Amino acid sequence: MSGGDAKKLVRSPSGLRMVPEHRAARSPFGLDEPPWVPDKECPRCMQCDTKFDFITRKHHCRRCGKCFCDKCCSKKVPLPRMCFVDPVRQCAECALVSQKETEFYDKQLKVLMNGATFIVTLGTSDKSELMVCRLSNNQRYLVLDGDSHYEIEIIQISTVQILTEGFTPGGGNTRAIGMILQYKVPGSEEVTQMKFTAGEDFSCNKKLSAAWLAAMHKVSKAAKTSALH
């Protein structure tokens, strides 16, 4: 899992990027750089319709590749999904999305990588196992360690159902206490199910478990969409 995690620094028209040496090792949350709208096809700002001239210069949004004037594309915002080293110029709409994604990278992904402890039940088995669950450093695998060891590729996860308790009529507070996860076994169409439960009979941080479950739910959706919000 870790052998192909080496990275290299590359330069593109958009800026410097630190990317995996092997494409197969890229994060499931990664995005490719978009092709830029050619200058000759963009005589006006694609947001405010201002005509470009010697004074009003054109700029390309690094996230969508569209062409804008400086006023409509002035923000420089981190874009971790494209592996940029520094913040890059983005249009207002893309900047808003990227800002939300930065919070996802800074908070939820770190929670998942730090891990949490759950009682894990595989399929319909009547046996459960205490396991530490975490997201791998390359963000590609959910790693489970106990007496057994599992590595589940994030892109193979088809369903994440969060289990809660504490709901009351009228909308009371709820707390995440576990999840049911379904994933496809590589090389087949077989679907395997795992149940994760935050244990009540051993010392664990319930707040950490709940935060880990909430982050896992968001990750499962993020891996299938172009935006993480």
Task: Kindly report, residue by residue over 129-153, the tens digit of the pLDDT.
Answer: 999 999 998 888 999 999 999 999 8
Separation CA 152–CA 116 (nearest Å): 16
CB atoms within 10 A of CB 193: 15
Regarding whether 122 and 97 lie in a shared domain, the answer is no
Digit-coded pLDDT (tens) for 74-113 = 999 999 889 999 999 999 999 999 998 887 888 888 899 9
Burial readout 104-125 (b: 16 or more C-beta within 10 A, e: otherwise): bbeebbebbeebbbbbbbeeee
Domain count along the chain: 2
212 found inside a domain:
yes
Predicted TM-score of the model (pTM): 0.72
Regarding whether 66 and 12 lie in a shared domain, the answer is yes
CATH number for the domain including 16?
Answer: 3.30.40.10
